[in-house]
């Protein structure tokens, strides 16, 4: 098996969302994605990247000296050496998060890794992409995230949360999609609308806004 990965960018910032929101972290963004979400904010990671062996990536993460390492994409699990990278980051003492779009098998990932798995809603245009068996491998520390564009997405997410009993099993994140294609950048759906629906349903999920979008609304890459 190759121990090389195509990397789009490695940089230091704060974690933008979910249960680690606001914590300093090193982001390792891997190149390539098998999906094409309508609201994708990382299209620059589809093709651009440079090849590194796993140990070179670890060295770059070590140089920053931060405690949290977030491996993301694109879709990290389309590259075969990603589990090896995760394992070595854990061995090096980092708290390690993996962001995945939910379409790839997560059963072979190290137990120590916190998995942040998307479930794509209809507004993404990728609603059939979920590998449903992945729910069998979600741990209590993991996150399942739904990015919402409208009420239809909310109802789709609510049904899955309830049917799969997700609130009892892991952290459940609802997040408004960012209007990446509009010149006046803001959310595609007002966060306050989602709050109203969550409260009306007494649904014990966590609303998460991508704070890097609030802090740096005009930047793509490196935040
Ligand atoms: S899965 Fe992520 S990187 Fe891939 S198209 Fe969707 S938002 Fe973009």
Q: What pTM value is reported for the model? A: 0.95
Q: Which fold has domain 4-215?
A: TIM Barrel (3.20.20)
CA-nearest of 101, 108, 49 to 72 is 101
For 39-94, the pLDDT digits (tens) are 999 999 999 999 999 999 999 999 999 999 999 999 999 999 999 999 999 999 99
Residue with tokens 């950048």: 185
74 lines ligand 1 (CB under 6 A): yes
Residue 183: predicted pLDDT: 67
| Cα within 13 Å of Cα(5), Cβ side | 30
Nearest CA to ligand 1 atom 8: 40
Bridge pairing between strands 114-118 and 24-30? unpaired
Over its C-alpha atoms, the chain yields an Rg (Å, rounded) of 17
CA-nearest of 100, 101, 90, 102 to 133 is 102
Mutational pocket test of ligand 1: of 9, 27, 29, 33, the residue with most ligand atoms within 8 Å of the beta carbon: 33
Cα-to-centroid distance, 200 and ligand 1 (Å)? 30
Mutational pocket test of ligand 1: of 35, 149, 221, the residue with most ligand atoms within 8 Å of the beta carbon: 35
Torsion, Cα of 104, 106, 110, 116 (10° steps): 90
For the chain, the residue count is 223
Atom of ligand 1 nearest to the CA of 39: 7
Strand order in the sheet with 206-207: 50-53, 4-14, 24-30, 68-72, 95-100, 114-118, 143-148, 171-176, 206-207
Atom of ligand 1 nearest to the CA of 73: 3
75 lines ligand 1 (CB under 6 A): yes
> What is the rounded CA–CA span in Å between residue 54 and residue 75?
17
Atom of ligand 1 nearest to the CA of 45: 3
Cα-to-centroid distance, 147 and ligand 1 (Å)? 11
Mutational pocket test of ligand 1: of 101, 118, 175, the residue with most ligand atoms within 8 Å of the beta carbon: 101
Residue 218 three-state SS: coil
Residue 214: predicted pLDDT: 83
Residue 218: predicted pLDDT: 75
CA-nearest of 35, 20, 216 to 131 is 35
> What is the rounded CA–CA span in Å between residue 135 and residue 80?
21
> What is the rounded CA–CA span in Å between residue 63 and residue 143?
28
Segments of the chain with pLDDT less than 50: none
Residue 184: predicted pLDDT: 66
Domain ranges of the chain: 4-215
Atom of ligand 1 nearest to the CA of 129: 1
Nearest CA to ligand 1 atom 3: 74
Residue 121: predicted pLDDT: 98
Sign of the CA dihedral with 101 first, then 93, 48, and 188 last: positive
Nearest CA to ligand 1 atom 5: 36
Residue 90: predicted pLDDT: 98
CA-nearest of 74, 72, 77 to 36 is 74
């Amino acid at each position: 098996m190759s121990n090389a990965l195509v990397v789009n960018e490695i940089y230091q910032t704060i974690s933008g969302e979910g249960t680690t929101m606001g914590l300093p972290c090193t982001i390792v963004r891997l190149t390539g994605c098998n999906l094409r979400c309508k609201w994708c904010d990382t299209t620059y990671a589809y093709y651009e990247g440079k090849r590194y062996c796993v140990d070179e990536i670890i060295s770059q993460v070590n140089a920053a000296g931060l405690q949290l390492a977030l491996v993301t994409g694109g879709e990290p699990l389309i590259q075969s050496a990603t589990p090896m990278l995760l394992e070595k980051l854990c061995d090096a003492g980092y708290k390690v998060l993996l962001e995945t779009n939910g379409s790839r098998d997560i059963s072979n990932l190290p137990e120590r890794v916190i998995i942040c798995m998307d479930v794509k809603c209809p507004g993404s245009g990728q609603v059939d992409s979920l590998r449903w068996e992945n729910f069998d491998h979600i741990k209590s520390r993991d996150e399942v995230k739904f990015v919402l564009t409208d009420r239809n997405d909310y109802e789709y997410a609510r049904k899955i949360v309830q049917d799969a009993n997700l609130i009892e099993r892991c952290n459940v994140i609802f997040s408004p999609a960012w209007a990446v294609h509009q010149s006046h950048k803001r959310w595609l759906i007002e966060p306050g609308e989602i709050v109203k629906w969550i409260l009306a349903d007494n649904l014990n999920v966590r609303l998460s806004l991508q704070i890097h979008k609030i802090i740096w609304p005009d930047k793509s890459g490196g935040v």
